[in-house]
Amino acid sequence: MVFSSITFLFYFLPIVLAIYYIVPNRIKNIVLLVASFMFYAYGEPTYVILMTFSIVLTYVFGIFINKYRKTEYSKIFLIIAIICSVGLLVYFKYTNFIIKNINLWLKHKIDFIYVVLPIGISFYTFQMMSYLIDVYRGEANVQKNILKLATYVSLFPQLIAGPIVRYTTIEKQLENRTHTFQKFALGVRRFIIGLGKKVLIANSLGKLTNIFLHGNEMSILYYWLYAISNMLQIYFDFSGYSDMAIGLGRMFGFEFLENFNYPYIAKSITDFWRRWHISLSSWFRDYVYIPLGGNRTSKIKWIRNIVIVWLLTGLWHGAEWNFVIWGVYFGILLIIEKLFLSKWLEKLPGVFSHIYLLILVMISFIVFNGESNSQIVKNIGGLIGYGSIPFASAESVYYFKSYFVIIVIAVVGATPLCCKFASSEKLKKIFNIGEPVFLFILMIICTAYIVDGSFNPFLYFRF
């Protein structure tokens, strides 16, 4: 089940909200737990068993890690728990990738196994690992109520595509959270805006990228249309989902941390990753980079730490070499910036450092979306006319005219300009009055698009 579906918007969510607010506080978590399992089972009923097994393992190991705190046994239990969690993730996500490369490199003929990637396994595995590590470090209290732990792991607003919500963020909220009309209204507002970003912008740009990938007539203009649409689609798809998740969380009394902060206004790769998928980059920072020594070590080890983190970041996104290349690409860029380039970027006029960032990120998402190395090289080369292709063609001009408005809207929407405009003291009263009408109309338009359209994927479901 996806948020941008009629089933979710007009059946599942209203029923769950009604039941949730009718029942007394002491069983609200149980309502959320049952709803979350139903939500997950709607798409993959078999893998509810896997998630339940993972939750039980996490619960048991958390108890033992806490019981033997400050002893060697606590560390042993943590290591076993992480091996189990990572082992399940590797089996379901990377087994055939490993087999494929063994067959390729060692000339073996190992048969592939039939395994379907459970939706959201990368997200909920990282949440459970962060919980166990925080319990081991003494930064989180062990949860002795398995139902509350299960609610945390399976919470449907963020279950299948994040953001990665740490246990410490909502630990107190699981026990006691406030429900106010203002918080609910803010949640509805955030959800509808996220829905609009996903349905009206990401899906529209996704159609253009699909047309490009399945078309034959190419030109420089066509390649640039693809590259720009692709990077904007990925942003609005994922940030739209994060907005919807944060909004849903508020409707149920939870306060999730922000996951995006206008990453395309950054002026360096370092700044970009402080703004893009914040929950993932901070997870790797706190649970991999810093434990490895971070930057408080020799330069060689520091470079090693960055390479390890970004190799894992790439692999986390998918079991294909383009994701590995994508991760290493960013790791190399970050090393270059931290060694010397950041000092030069600070001296440049802001427009040049901003262009530098956008071009490198645009190329990164061509790699991210590439189905083969040859296709990646072809798509990047097409930006500069590699292969003696024309600057424009009748087809590319047609699509440029057709998608120009939506691209402009997406470019503006990827910046804080709208928020600054809306927060102007002179216009604040007008927006306060007009916003409910705007949100209602936006919801109607999104519904019409969902009913009318068939192209409605969530890119991050595969992670």
One-letter amino acid identity for 384? I
Query: Which of 147, 177, 207 is the last residue before a domain boundary?
Result: 177
∠ Cα 152 154 157 (to 5°)? 90
- Selecting among 179, 214, 277, 317, the annotated active-site residue is 317
Catalytic site residue 317? yes
Domain-ending residue, one of 177, 208, 235: 177
Task: Report how far residue 179's alpha carbon sits from residue 188's, in angstroms, rounded to the nearest whole number.
Answer: 13
Contacts for 354 with CB less than 8 Å, ≥ 6 apart: 265, 266, 267
Please indicate, yes or no, whether residues 242 and 164 belong to a single structural domain of this protein. no
**Same-domain check for residues 434 and 329:** yes
Do 13 and 143 lie in a common domain? yes
- What tokens appear for 23 in the block? 């029942």
Residue 435 confidence (pLDDT):
82
The answer as to whether 94 is a domain residue is yes
Mean pLDDT per 10-residue section of the chain, whose length is 463 residues: 89 96 94 95 87 96 93 94 95 91 82 85 94 95 94 92 89 91 94 95 92 84 94 95 95 94 94 95 95 90 95 92 94 93 85 94 93 87 87 90 94 85 64 82 92 64 52
Structural domain tally of the chain?
2
Q: Is residue 275 part of a domain?
A: yes
Residues 168 and 216 in one domain: no
pLDDT score recorded for residue 360: 96
Check: CB of residue 124 under 8 Å from CB of residue 154.
yes
Query: Do the domain assignments include residue 127?
Result: yes
| Residue 282 and residue 143 share a domain | no
User: Is 139 inside any structural domain?
Assistant: yes
The alpha helices in 264-393, defined as continuous H runs, are 269-275, 278-284, 290-292, 299-317, 321-336, 342-347, 350-368, 373-381
- Which residue type is seen at 152? Y
Residues 213, 165 share a domain: no
Do 169 and 61 share a structural domain? yes
Residue 411 lies in a domain: yes
**Domain end call among 152, 177, 202:** 177
- Do 328 and 206 share a structural domain? yes
1 belongs to a structural domain:
no
User: What is the pLDDT, as a whole number, of residue 422?
Assistant: 60
In-domain check, residue 292: yes
Do 24 and 98 lie in one domain? The reply is: yes
For residue 14, what are the contacts with CB-CB under 8 A and spacing of at least 6? none
Asked if 369 and 209 count as a contact pair (C-beta separation under 8 A), the reply is: yes
At residue 228, the pLDDT reads 96
**151 conformational bin, left if phi > 0, alpha if psi -120 to 50, beta if neither:** alpha
pLDDT of residue 11: 94
Rounded to whole angstroms, how far apart are CA atoms 356 and 354?
5
Residue 154 belongs to domain spanning: 6-177
Which DSSP symbol is given to 261? S
Tell me, yes or no, whether 120 and 253 share the same domain: no
- Flag whether 326 is in a domain: yes
Report the predicted TM-score, pTM, of the whole model to 2 decimal places: 0.91
Co-location of 171 and 33 in the same domain: yes
| Residues 325 and 371 reside in one and the same domain | yes
CA distance 428 to 381: 47
